[in-house]
Amino acid sequence: MKDAFYELDLLSRQLNHAHRMAVQAELNASGLREVGHPMLVSILQSAEEGCQCQAQRELADLLHVSPAAVANSLKCLERDGYIHREPWQDDARRNRVLLTEKGLQAVEGCRDVFRRVNARMLDGFSPEECAQLARFRRRMVDNLLDPKSKE
């Protein structure tokens, strides 16, 4: 059983690394090298479509990264013309993060990249196998996030 846990951990790390490398290669090939954190721009797009997750702290929580990491990413995205910031109407101490037209185009490019990489990753899997894989992965996430789970 110990070997199975080691193998699962290793496979998880390899999959994560291979996925990140494939996404970055596709971003580079699509002229989106400078986007940096494609999930961030996709979340910003969702925020503009109605989800209230446009504050820096909320973005950090959604991405499971530190507010400082989000701040650095936002600084680069703003410098490169993908986003702009403006004060919240109700609280001038907080900034809303909004996509520019260039940012909106980048979101579509990023989503296309994610679709292509995921299609490659799941090539040869039946719809049933994809559904089963999704259920297994959801269970793993739930197991890790459940504070009552045994360690």
pLDDT class of 74 with cuts at 50, 70, 90: confident
Q: What six digits make up the tokens of 39?
A: 């999930």
Instruction: Supply the DSSP string of 45-60, one letter for each residue.
Output: HHHHTT----SHHHHH
Model pLDDT, residue 62: 79
Question: Model confidence over 82-118: pLDDT tens digits?
Answer: 888 888 777 777 777 888 899 888 888 988 999 999 9
- Residue 133 is predicted with a pLDDT of 96
What is the per-residue pLDDT across 9-45, written as a single tens digit (0 to 9) for each? 899 999 999 999 999 999 999 988 878 777 677 777 6
For residues 23-49, one letter each, b for 16 or more C-beta atoms within 10 angstroms of the residue's C-beta and e for the rest, the string is bbebbeeeebeebbbbbbbbbbbebee
The answer to whether residue 53 scores a pLDDT higher than 80 is no
In what helix (H) or strand (E) does residue 84 lie, and over which residues does it extend? strand 83-87
**Which residue would you say has higher pLDDT here, 77 or 126?**
126
Identify the DSSP state of 99.
E
Domain 2-145 in CATH 1.10.10.410:
no
pTM, rounded to two decimals: 0.73
How many CA atoms are closer than 13 Å to the CA of 66, on its beta-carbon side? 3
Q: What does the pLDDT read at residue 23?
A: 92
Q: Over 60: is that where the pLDDT of 138 sits?
A: yes
Look at residue 50 and tell me whether its pLDDT is greater than 80: no
